[in-house]
Structure 1
Amino acid sequence: MSREGSAGAPGVDPEQLWLGSDRPRRGRKPAYSREVITAAAVALADTEGLEAVTMRKVAAQVGAGVMSLYSYAPDKETLLHLMVDHVSGELPTAHPLTGDWRADLKAIAHLQRAHMLRHPWLPAALTTRRVPGPHTLAFLERALAALRPAGMDGAAKLEVFAQLTAFVAGHVAHEMAQAAMTQSPDRTAAEARYLAVVAADGHHPELAEALSAPGRPLAPEATFSRFLNRLIDGLDTD
């Protein structure tokens, strides 16, 4: 079986991945590093999408033989763990907290959104459970510190951060899909006509009322902020 995919591959050992050496244990001094290989994979995903990331393509990016890469990442699943943590190093972790946990959590969410828009493959990569690496842990530590004034217990704080990250990832995925639809104005117009017909058929009064209401600002940032406010302002600290 090819090692390109994760199907059938053994689970990632977090101790070996994050606490072990990133250099091959045997043989001569390596010509590459895990950092270089991961950065090449990230660049490939940023430009061509996650499906384009294969060990063969990454090897071509760095000018290495494909078999040599398996010393650093034995399969694509491991490489994805490395990629997620690599880009997490871009997230700031030293910005001052205000002590207003809701405001700080919203600021963290906006950082996450901007981060995912820079790396459009991230929402899909985050749908699978990832063992956090050092950069991801640093950002998680910051989020937990932001939640300290809320008085939640540790389990609740972890749940809130997971919920927030899932919300941002889902929203960004939707946001990117909506942006792609604007490239097809005929399709957008057809959907608008369809909904108008459905709303007028008398069988969907709630939808008709909703569609007749004044519209909200459609700017992506404003839309994200509205949804985010509903989520965080409604959080229960119990």
Structure 2
Amino acid sequence: MPTEGNAGAPAVDPQQLWLGSDQPRRGRKPAYSREAITAAAVALADAEGLEAVTMRKVAAEVGAAVMSLYSYAPDKETLLNLMVDHVTAELPATYPLTGDWRADLKTIARLQRDHMLRHPWLPGALTTRRVPGPHTLAFLERALAALRPAGLDGAAKLEVFAQLTAFVAGHVAHETAQAALAQSPERAAAEARYLAVVATDGKHPELAEALSTPGRPLTPDDTFTRFLNRLIGGLDTD
């Protein structure tokens, strides 16, 4: 039985999903495609957030009956895999490499950040394991090539890429939340007042010292660059 959510959803079969046909095997020629269904789901997520993506809403967007969509995506987990790979097509898979693996990793991270900011639902979709599709594999292949000069073995290169992607996803999620907070001055002011009280209660001396330190540039780009430099600079190739 098809399901909307992840709970109880059948495991995604990678071969069937990515190497099989994207058209139903039986019945009349369809009036829509898996590509169109995926694009509709992405548009919904971009406009309203990941929680807005339901099979019923996607069906309404493409003008299809809900049950007919299950021939293309039998559950929401499959649909999320399709969505992630669909937007990953926006990432370049042939950008030039400099031979400086740390510099190239920073380029990859900036590409990922820009990409996730265009699709703010993406960090949430990446919190669970996804089955890499063709576009995801193409970007991964380039990232592994960028890491070749580091002298890491294959497993370590995969770990570094996963760590980098997790960092970017977490940072973008925080960045998006901060941007939303900035749109609510009252809420931001209330949070600042609360921290000021906590910092002077005598129970949090480390926090009080940290808050008294002159702030660094807080523009999103500056903050991301500072954090990224710390991450890349701390990577060990041993």
Residues 112-148 of structure 1: CA deviation (Å, up to 9, x unaligned): 0010010010000000100100000000001000000
Q: How does 1:185-200 map to 2 (within 5 A)?
A: 185-200=185-200
User: TM-score, structure 1 length as denominator?
Assistant: 0.97
Residues 21-48 of structure 1: CA deviation (Å, up to 9, x unaligned): 1110111111111111100110011001
Is 1:182 the counterpart of 2:182 in the alignment? yes
Instruction: Give percent identity, aligned residues only.
Output: 86
Question: Which position in structure 2 is the counterpart of 1:70?
Answer: 70
Is 1:15 the counterpart of 2:10 in the alignment? no
Q: Distance in 2 between matches of 1:33 and 1:78?
A: 15
Displacement of 1:193: 1.8
Q: Distance in 2 between matches of 1:146 and 1:209?
A: 40
Displacement of 1:192: 1.4
Residues 158-193 of structure 1: CA deviation (Å, up to 9, x unaligned): 000000001100010011111111122122112212
Name the stretch that deviates more: 105-114 or 202-211: 202-211
Q: Distance in 2 between matches of 1:33 and 1:198?
A: 56
Task: Indicate conservation of the 8 Å contact 2:2/2:70, yes or no.
Answer: no
Question: Which position in structure 2 is the counterpart of 1:40?
Answer: 40
Question: Which position in structure 1 is the counterpart of 2:86?
Answer: 86
Letter in 1 for 2:119: H
Q: Distance in 2 between matches of 1:27 and 1:196?
A: 66
Does the residue aligned with 1:92 lie in a helix, a strand or coil?
coil
Question: Which position in structure 1 is the counterpart of 2:5?
Answer: 5
Q: Distance in 2 between matches of 1:6 and 1:213?
A: 44
Q: How does 1:89-168 map to 2 (within 5 A)?
A: 89-168=89-168
Is 1:233 the counterpart of 2:236 in the alignment? no
Does the residue aligned with 2:147 lie in a helix, a strand or coil?
helix
Letter in 2 for 1:123: P
Taking structure 1 as reference, are residues 237 and 24 closer, same or farther at Cα in structure 2, changes over 3 Å only? same
Residues 180-218 of structure 1: CA deviation (Å, up to 9, x unaligned): 111221221122122222222333222222111111101
Does the residue aligned with 1:7 lie in a helix, a strand or coil?
coil
Aligned length: 238
Does the residue aligned with 2:81 lie in a helix, a strand or coil?
helix
Residues 73-122 of structure 1: CA deviation (Å, up to 9, x unaligned): 00111000000000000001111000000000001000000100100100
Taking structure 1 as reference, are residues 123 and 103 closer, same or farther at Cα in structure 2, changes over 3 Å only? same
User: TM-score, structure 2 length as denominator?
Assistant: 0.97
Q: Distance in 2 between matches of 1:237 and 1:168?
A: 20
Structure 1: gaps of 5 or more residues: none
Displacement of 1:2: 5.7
Give RMSD over aligned pairs.
1.1
Structure 2: gaps of 5 or more residues: none
Is 1:216 the counterpart of 2:209 in the alignment? no
